Homo-oligomer: A and B are copies of this chain.
Amino acid sequence: MGITKTQIFDQRQNELAQLFKILGHPARIAILQYISKQNACICNDLVEEIGLAQATISQHLKELKSIGLLKGEIEGKSMCYCIDIDRWNTLQKNLNSFFNTTKMNCC
């Protein structure tokens, strides 16, 4: 017990849930907001800005990368993490599609 039974749900349900799940942490929300404000970003800024340890920030960045929301480029000896706007717009469409189709026909 304890493991999520992904096999009893369809792919769309699992993918949608995974997206929501990754967005479901305040640090990751804050990271996205901060990167957006900066127009560019290096991870080290985030450590000071957010107030979590460097290892923890790095882990959150990895999760945001896992759903394609962030892309990172090496820039000298630091990383430039940016929001992938195409992916961002696609995600927004997916979520809206879920919201719009699900509210239909409800009592």
0/1 interface trace, chain A 74-107, chain B, CB 8 Å (1 if under): 0000001011010011011001101101111111
Residues of B within 8 A of A89 (CB): 103
Contact residues in B for A14 (Cβ distance below 8 Å) = 26
A16 to chain B, nearest CB (A): 5
Answer yes or no: A44 CB below 8 A from chain B CBs.
no
Q: Cβ of A36: which chain B residues have Cβ within 8 Å of it?
A: 101-106
Contact with B along A1-34 (1 / 0, CB 8 A): 0001110110001101111111111111110110
Chain A residues proximal to chain B, CB less than 8 Å: 4-6, 8-9, 13-14, 16-30, 32-33, 35-37, 39-40, 50-52, 80, 82-83, 85, 88-89, 91-92, 95-96, 98-99, 101-107
